[in-house]
Amino acid sequence: MSEKYLAGIDIGTTGAKVAIFDINGNMVSSGYREYSCIYPKPGWVDQDLKIMYKAATEASSACIEKARIKTSEIAAISVSAQRSCTIFVDKAGDELIPMISWQDGRTTAEVTQIKETFGAEKYYLITGLPLGPAWILPKILWIRKNYPEIWKNTAKVVQLHDYFLKKLGCEDFTVDIPDTAFYGLWDTDRLEWSGKLLENFNLNEGLFSRPSESGSIAGKLSKSAAKDFGFAQGTPLCTGAGDQNSAVVGAGVINEGDLSIAIGTGGIAITYLDKPFRDPNMMNMITNHAITGKWQMEGLQNGAAGVFRWFRDEIALFDDADAGNNDKKDKIYKMLDKMIADTPSGSKGLLMLPYFAGSAAPRWNSDARGTIIGLTFAHDKACLARCFMEGITLEMKDIINSIKNSGIKVKSARLIGGAAKSDIWNRIQCDMYNMNVSTLKVSDAAILGAAILAGVGSGLFGSIREGVNSMVAADKNYIPGKDSQLYQKLYDIYVRAYASLAEGRVFNMVSELQSTY
């Protein structure tokens, strides 16, 4: 009997990755292609699905070329995709407008509408979501109000995972249960659509993708998709999960006390829950775990490594003639790591608030904006690089503190996402959180999680837990050092800085000014 392999497709915010694994969690090969977001106005974030699809096919071709295995040996394929992305499609299943990103903040008025007509606390108790512009419901209300012709022609409102599964060959739009929460109309305790919310906002569940358990069979790879991606026609397609729910699987967060910290384009801290729970402070999300009937608490960070990428492109490469060269950009990260490692902790007293896409957990302020405090002539590019890395990590510390303050006990953390590839960033995280942390042999936990879910759907694993035990392994451990005390002082300044700018309405006034452009 020939060896069996599993494939994962991860459609992220800034790039698409395809990887093939053996059933022991060893990555056989991978391919990656980068793309960008579209920013039509301040606070607006769109993406072009055709560009994303093309990038995914190119990543897949590169992955398969390097794998040197028979595609017939791939037992199944599953998808991980950025969550809470809003796609309005017509009767033919074609998108009517560019995809609205989860980072988009144009729906402040609609969030207020939901608060006034339904109530923020009541909304949180049903959905597990603190009110904010990231969810799909506010975007539906925005389109319905501002673009009635688009709304009239809308047959379905689907998410990115669902869109890609259908493009791969599924007959209908299928949403994984964990992703269903991000419609903002799902009862996460009962695992069903909320009749109260649907009625209140005059919506019907038929408008949305069909919910399905993560790791279940969803269809087979079509002839056209096989040609585009290079996999064998008829390969089983399995329902995956939103990127962070998939990453929790790929990080092995399947027991109480487990915490994963992902710093990718966005950031998120997630802990496993055996039972339904609500944050008494209503700061953190409660969503469905990929293991059906289990839950997770999530603290969301809108701008994480995406903010560092902005620094890379706009400042670190400002005077570089090869700024458009992807190989050059990758080398820049290594150069930045060296600069940061050689710069004193605390960036010589420089502080950056990373609210480039507003603030999500725990402050939920869509008007918050990126801010640098403390600049002097003594600071250089290296200080700026370090303060960006530290500022992103300070916001994550804020999120972790809010999880602990809700009454959830956390033992240790696993670092995942692109930032986990940087040893200096891992060290900063360990000291900043004052907590033991570890990395994983496969740091791209989302795509590993997708492969595990493919293994469950194909029958290679009897359960998600069995798949995790077979494919997930820890790598390097970090223990807090002397910088923890310094970072606590920096965090105290961070909290005060936010409070001053928020309570003094500086964020609001800047946001109002930006809305005029």
pLDDT in tens, 106-147: 999 999 999 999 999 999 999 999 998 999 999 999 999 999
84-99: string of b/e by CB count within 10 Å (b at 16+)?
bbbbbbeeeeeebebb
Contacts of 126 (CB under 8 A, 6+ apart): 187, 188, 194, 196, 197
Angle (CA) 181-39-141 rounded to 5° is 40
**What confidence tens digit (pLDDT) does each residue in 318-328 have?**
544 454 555 67
CA 142 to chain CA mean position, Å: 23
Average pLDDT over residues 435-439: 96
Residue 394, Cβ density class (10 Å: 0-12 exposed, 13-18 middle, ≥19 buried): buried
Average pLDDT over residues 343-366: 94
Assess whether pLDDT exceeds 80 at residue 386: yes
Long-range contacts of 270-279 (CB under 8 A, 24+ apart): 270/244, 270/296, 270/297, 270/298, 270/299, 271/296, 271/297, 271/403, 271/408, 271/410, 272/248, 272/296, 273/297, 273/408, 276/188, 276/189, 277/408, 278/124, 278/125, 278/128, 279/402, 279/406
Q: Report d(CA 437, CA 261) in Å as an integer.
A: 9
Q: State the pLDDT confidence band at 515, using cuts at 50, 70 and 90.
A: confident
Contacts of 320 (CB under 8 A, 6+ apart): 328, 332
What mean pLDDT value characterizes the chain?
94
pLDDT at residue 517, rounded to an integer: 87
CA 83 to chain CA mean position, Å: 6
**What confidence tens digit (pLDDT) does each residue in 270-309 have?**
999 999 999 998 989 999 999 999 999 999 898 899 999 9
Q: Which residue(s) pair with 89 in the sheet?
A: 95, 156
pLDDT at residue 321, rounded to an integer: 47
Among residues 268, 273, 245, 318, the alpha carbon closest in space to that of 410 is found at: 273
Give the 3-state DSSP-derived string for 306-368, with helices as H, strands as E and coil as C: HHHHHHHHHHHCCCCCCCCCHHHHHHHHHHHHHHHHCCCCCCCCCEEECCECEECCCCCECCC
What is the percent of the chain with per-residue pLDDT over 70, rounded to a whole number?
97
What is the percent of the chain with per-residue pLDDT over 90, rounded to a whole number?
89
Q: Are 455 and 461 in contact (CB under 8 A)?
A: yes
Q: Report d(CA 393, CA 428) in Å as an integer.
A: 8
Written as one letter, the residue type at 462 is G
Among residues 105, 397, 357, 430, the alpha carbon closest in space to that of 269 is found at: 397
Domain ranges of the chain: 5-300+441-476
Average pLDDT over residues 7-28: 96
pLDDT at residue 332, rounded to an integer: 86
Q: Report d(CA 318, CA 313) in Å as an integer.
A: 7
Written as one letter, the residue type at 31 is G
pLDDT at residue 459, rounded to an integer: 97
pTM of this prediction?
0.87
Contacts of 363 (CB under 8 A, 6+ apart): 283, 398, 498, 502
Q: Which CATH class is domain 5-300+441-476?
A: alpha beta
How far, CA to CA in Å, does 61 sit from each of 9, 29, 227, 255, 392? 12, 11, 10, 36, 34
φ, ψ for residue 254 (rounded to 5)?
-130, 10
Please identify which residue in the block is written with the tokens 């600071």. 379
pLDDT at residue 264, rounded to an integer: 84
Q: Report d(CA 300, CA 175) in Å as an integer.
A: 21
Residue 318, Cβ density class (10 Å: 0-12 exposed, 13-18 middle, ≥19 buried): exposed
Please identify which residue in the block is written with the tokens 């809108």. 302
Q: Report d(CA 14, CA 51) in Å as an integer.
A: 11
Q: Report d(CA 454, CA 452) in Å as an integer.
A: 5
Q: Report d(CA 457, CA 181) in Å as an integer.
A: 22
pLDDT at residue 195, rounded to an integer: 97
pLDDT at residue 320, rounded to an integer: 47
CA 474 to chain CA mean position, Å: 21
Long-range contacts of 362-365 (CB under 8 A, 24+ apart): 362/281, 362/283, 362/284, 362/299, 362/398, 362/399, 362/401, 362/402, 363/283, 363/398, 363/498, 363/502, 364/130, 364/131, 364/132, 364/283, 365/502, 365/507
Please identify which residue in the block is written with the tokens 């060896």. 3
Assess whether pLDDT exceeds 80 at residue 330: no
Q: Are 103 and 303 in contact (CB under 8 A)?
A: yes
pLDDT at residue 325, rounded to an integer: 57
Assess whether pLDDT exceeds 50 at residue 78: yes
Report which secondary-structure segment, H or E, holds 116. Answer: helix 108-117
